[in-house]
Structure 1
Amino acid sequence: MRELIKESIIDLKKTDGFIYVTADGKKIDLHEAAARGIAVTPVNPKDEVIKKLEAAGLHLTDSKFLNDLNDLIAELSGKAASKSSGKRRSFSDAEKSKIIEEWKKVEAAGKKTKAAFAREIGVGYQTFINWLRG
């Protein structure tokens, strides 16, 4: 699956515009086809990539499938799915203290940056810095 995704990315990056396909389905350069008098059909490379991915079971044009896939990734990575209502979350002083205590442990272990820790707990970097100064 990983190889298919990598190939798809390469296919999309290496073409600018359409690719041209002969009657027997082989890709050919437009200038070469014209020089040799071969009839070609223009094909959008995105359509070809989508067909390959769908054949492998990745329906990336289906928004429900994408939502489910994003939810799965969020669950596997331990991050809550981003279904934010746009409201700010308030933290009590006790919660802030607990978070700062946790940061001190993480910092002592040297495992994460402040920015990564703030992202992980769902707090803006500057807010987290202000708590530390607090």
Structure 2
Amino acid sequence: MRELIKEAIADLKKNEGFIYVTAEGKRIDLHEAATRGIPVTPVNPKDDVIKKLEAAGLYVTDGRFMNDFNELVGLISGNSSGKTSKRRTFSDGEKNKILEEWKKVEATGNKTKAAFAREIGVGYQTFINWLRS
């Protein structure tokens, strides 16, 4: 998989415009094709890369897939909150339970407000606003 991704990056970096393929699907230089009289079809290298990635199960043009993938990467890399690009809304009951839990944690003196907010997946400023209200 890693090699496929590296290959995709290299393909996109080296091809600034279209690539040209013969009827058999082989890449060919446009000048060479014209000199030899070989008909070619222009192909956007991005489309070619997307097809290769999708064949391997990586649907980079599917927003939901990318959200799930980014969440997975975040969780693996230590983002314990599992945040995605979507905002989470908390009910009043959930806020009250979180604030009650904070009172218990605060009494132990083992965590900062910022660490607690990160742990529960709430922005620090949002958590502070809850404490003030």
TM-score range, shorter chain: 0.5 to 0.7
Question: In 1, Cα distance between the equivalents of 2:52 and 2:78?
Answer: 30
Aligned twin of 2:46: 46
1:91-133: per-residue Cα shift (whole Å, max 9, x none)? xxx8xx956xxxxxxxxxxxxxxxxxxxxxx88xxxxxxxxxx
- Structure 1 Cα separation of the partners of residues 39 and 85 of structure 2: 50
Q: Distance in 2 between matches of 1:82 and 1:19?
A: 36
Q: Quote the residue 1:17 is aligned against.
A: 17
The one-letter amino acid of 1:49's match is: V
Evaluate the alpha carbon distance shift between residue 34 and residue 78 of structure 1 in structure 2; reply closer, same or farther with a 3 A threshold.
Answer: same
Shift of 1:83: 4.5
Cα distance 1:83–1:27, how it changes in 2: closer, same or farther (>3 A)?
A: closer
Q: 1:75 to 1:48 in 2, by over 3 A?
A: same
| TM-score, with length taken from structure 2 | 0.63
* Percentage identity across paired residues of the two chains: 66
Once residues 26 and 84 of structure 1 are traced to their aligned partners in structure 2, the CA distance between those partners, rounded to angstroms, is: 43
Deviates more, 1:71-80 or 1:52-61: 71-80
Q: Any runs of at least 4 consecutive aligned residues in structure 1 with deviations exceeding 4 A, and if so which? A: 82-85
User: How far apart are 1:13 and its partner, in Å?
Assistant: 0.5
* Structure 2: segments with no counterpart, 5+ residues: 88-105, 113-122, 125-133
| Structure 1 partner of 2:29 | 29
Shift of 1:78: 1.5
TM-score by length of 1: 0.62
Aligned pair count? 99
